[in-house]
Amino acid sequence: MKLYTHIDRIKAELISRNMTPPIDPIALSEIDSMHYLGNDAVQAAVDVMKFDPSCHVLDVGSGFGGPARILATLSKCHVTALELQQDIHELGEDLTKRCNLDDLVQHVNGDILDNDTVERLGYGFDGIVSFLVFLHIPSKKPLLDVCAKVLKPNGSVFIEDFYCIAPFTELETKSLSRDVFCSDLPSKQEYIQQLELSGFCNINFVELTTEWTQYVTNRLEQFIENKERYTAVHGENAYSGLLEFYTVVATLFNGGNLGGVRIIAQTK
């Protein structure tokens, strides 16, 4: 099953905004990034991880490649952008070419949990970033093991993810699974324990729940305010589908049991 189905919306936005090559990746990031707090989150990764032109970074679950292109633009580092869905991967690769960033950003299609994919990625990355992807992968242990394996010693991860603050209600569990493709979220303690078991140290669990709750609440309000423009570009069905998704996510965060976190940790 495909998690994400809005490929056509990116193409429609490119046409509507008259974006032709060479495209500015910062302007493009307004439509191609799926994580929270936009480029500030990517800037935080560059600052915390001290990425520079000598670094090779793996972006796990790169989506349309937005964060990977911003990373490369801000720090001139080399990025391998790994994406599971072939159609999203192909559009991401095309957008990178349209931004003239294909010398810095290389796209790979595959599953981070698949051994052949990992062989194709190679080893010895300086850092791994991942924005709102791990929440789709229920079993964190094999995922964190792979991350540790492909990093060089003293390599770092910068992961933005969901976690469980307190037990979810039955309705929340159903909504997370059905609408967000998310199940078995770990608690803070469980997450840290898994990181340690996979060999990570210097673990920094940065609480983002308040900021993200505000962000998803504002996102919903602004989306409703901009209904006319969105419907004109994408149609009524796309509007009502996204309205439902944004409402579900805002309700979950405002419920107080869903948390947002940035995890920074190092291999030994």
Ligand X SMILES: C[S@@+](CC[C@H](N)C(=O)[O-])C[C@H]1O[C@@H](n2cnc3c(N)ncnc32)[C@H](O)[C@@H]1O
* Binding segment (CB under 6 A) for ligand X, from list 57-65, 69-77, 192-200, 235-243: 57-65
The CB-of-84 to ligand X minimum distance in angstroms stands at 3
Q: Is 247 in the site for ligand X (CB under 6 A)?
A: no
Nearest to 128 by CA among 116, 141, 144: 144
Token duo for residue 153: 């010693």
Q: Is 5 in the site for ligand X (CB under 6 A)?
A: no
What sign has the CA pseudo-torsion 173, 180, 125, 49?
negative
The CB-of-170 to ligand X minimum distance in angstroms stands at 25
Question: How many positions of this chain bind ligand X (CB under 6 A)?
Answer: 24
- Contacts of ligand X in 103-162 (CB under 6 A): 111-113, 131-133, 136-137
Q: Is 264 in the site for ligand X (CB under 6 A)?
A: no
The CB-of-146 to ligand X minimum distance in angstroms stands at 10
Instruction: Pick the closer one to ligand X by CB: 45 or 84.
Output: 84
- Pick one of 66, 127, 155, 259: the residue that binds ligand X (CB under 6 A): 66
* 3-state helix, strand and coil shares in percent for the chain, rounded to the nearest 5: 50, 20, 30
Q: Is 37 in the site for ligand X (CB under 6 A)?
A: no
- Contacts of ligand X in 15-34 (CB under 6 A): 33-34
Q: Is 242 in the site for ligand X (CB under 6 A)?
A: no
Nearest to 160 by CA among 138, 124, 194, 128: 128
- Contacts of ligand X in 174-213 (CB under 6 A): none
**What is the C-alpha to C-alpha distance for residues 198 and 146, in angstroms, rounded to an integer?**
9
Q: Which H, E and C letters describe 107-118, residue by residue? A: EEECCCCCHHHH
* Binding segment (CB under 6 A) for ligand X, from list 12-20, 63-71, 231-239, 257-265: 63-71
Cis amide prior to 22 (ω within 30 degrees): yes
Instruction: Pick the closer one to ligand X by CB: 81 or 201.
Output: 81
Residue 99 main-chain phi, psi, to 5 deg = -95, 0
Q: Is 39 in the site for ligand X (CB under 6 A)?
A: no
Cα angle at 69 between 110 and 56, to 5 degrees? 70
**What is the C-alpha to C-alpha distance for residues 78 and 101, in angstroms, rounded to an integer?**
10
What pairing do the DSSP bridges indicate for beta strands 78-83 and 105-109?
Answer: parallel
Instruction: Pick the closer one to ligand X by CB: 42 or 195.
Output: 42
Q: Which residues here bind ligand X, judged by CB under 6 A?
A: 3-4, 33-35, 60-63, 66-67, 82-85, 88, 111-113, 131-133, 136-137
